[in-house]
Amino acid sequence: MSTKKPRICYTKPSITELEVAYAADAAANGWGDRCYDYIVRFEDGFRKHLAVNHAIATSSCTGAMHMGLAALGIGPGDQVILADTNWIATAAPLVHLGATPVFVDILADSWCIDPADAERHITPKTKAIIATHIYGNLCDMERLLDIGRRHGIPIIEDAAEAIGSVWHDRRAGSMGLFGTFSFHGTKTLTTGEGGMFVTSDADLFERVLTLSNHGRARGQIKQFWPDEVGFKYKMSNIQAALGCGQLERIEGLIARKREILASYAGKLAACHGISLNPEEAGTVNGAWMPTAVFDRDMGITREMLRQAFSEADIDARVFFHPLSSLPMFAEKRGNRNAWDIPERAINLPSYHDMTDEEIGRVTDVILGLIESHAGEPILAKSA
């Protein structure tokens, strides 16, 4: 009889009867005059959750970013500064608009954009700085907003991974000129695919609202009359219904993510040389993706980690490659942290229903790898 333990996925959504009921109602009844009911409800609930004035549900975070940047008039000849450590979805809209992404380094502790390096790269062509709250970690928004004020440059928040993260009583995504969120199936709150554009700027909201509806302004009285070429990044009513159910459970979903990160921290506390997602005083880390970064002198590499987790049938993810290492961009090896950290880091599984035994299986892989590499035991493994 096989004693093989089941595979541990790196993430999967938490879906209950509440979300299923809402989605079924939207599928059965959300048509005609009711085709936007759940969308409006989801937008309003998310707006209130973030304490912002406006929210527009979108088909993806990428779409939300694309429309926000387009609404600012960013295009050919313009430059936008962002961290080299990012998923390509943050840079792709810039390329589509004909603008130039300027990649800067990250901080060694938060893995988020280095404000000083961002400021050093400002030129007369700089039209915005994007602050990506990577893996739920928070950018230094106080410094970035100050830089933005002094240079007259908007700060944009890519909060795709930061639902639940809070910077001194302000939620991630609510502090910049606009913020964007992802509701991909891997995220803390999911609609399967989907995203949200948020802002408290009334004029920007109206501009994006028009762009989001194929360029049809809501004040236009002619039917099917676009005033310009816009976009089609709408969320479906059925997706929004899922989101409404998730939003009712949001505090519990965030709390569980934080519990999993805390459990990892506890199990690895006696093992020096490993850094997990930080939480500075006065902040809350939404803990979307627990990540372990190993000190360089430990000699633990990404490939060693990938192989060890694969052999244990655990689906761990690699840390984002620097965007400037990808074939479509010019290399910037001067971004030392962005190039160095991915070589000795791994994303750890963190789905909501993980058991303590499963978390122990994950940490046992790490401890076993360290012991085999160091040639001596580190601490007792899980029972």
Would you write out the chain's pLDDT as a tens digit for each of its 383 residues? 456 789 999 999 999 999 999 999 999 999 999 999 999 999 999 999 999 999 999 999 999 999 999 999 999 999 999 999 999 999 999 999 999 999 999 999 999 999 999 999 999 999 999 999 999 999 999 999 999 999 999 999 999 999 999 999 999 999 999 999 999 999 999 999 999 999 999 999 999 999 999 999 998 999 999 999 999 999 999 999 999 999 999 999 999 999 999 999 999 998 899 999 999 999 999 999 999 999 999 999 999 999 999 999 999 999 999 999 999 999 999 999 999 999 999 999 999 999 999 999 999 999 999 998 765 555 444 44
Predicted local confidence at residue 190, as pLDDT:
98
Cβ-proximal residues to 28 (8 Å cutoff; 6+ apart), any chain: none
Among left, alpha and beta (phi > 0; psi -120 to 50; other), residue 152 is left
The three-state secondary structure class of 279 is coil
Q: What is the pLDDT of residue 281?
A: 95
Q: With a threshold of 0.75, does the pTM exceed it?
A: yes
Contact 74, 94 (CB under 8 A): yes
User: Could you tell me if 185 and 157 are in contact, meaning their C-beta atoms sit under 8 angstroms apart?
Assistant: no
pLDDT of residue 5: 86
β-pairing verdict for 79-83 and 100-104 = parallel
Burial of 56 (0-12, 13-18, 19+ CB in 10 A): buried
How many Å is the Cα radius of gyration of the chain?
A: 22
CA-nearest of 30, 17, 6 to 246 is 17
Interatomic CA distance for residues 374 and 362, integer angstroms:
19
pLDDT, position 383: 42
DSSP string, 219-242: T--STT--SS---B-BPPHHHHHH
Total Cβ atoms within 10 A of residue 19 = 22
Q: Report the pLDDT value the prediction gives residue 375, as an integer from 0 to 100.
A: 59
Alpha-carbon distance of 20 to 77, in angstroms, equals 47
What pLDDT, on the 0 to 100 scale, is given for residue 380?
Answer: 46
> Minimal CA–CA distance to 378: which of 365, 367, 366?
367
Which parts of 51-87 fold into alpha helices (H)? 61-71
Sheet holding 178-182, edge to edge: 54-58, 195-199, 178-182, 155-158, 126-132, 79-83, 100-104
Label residue 192 exposed, middle or buried (CB < 10 Å: 0-12, 13-18, 19+).
middle
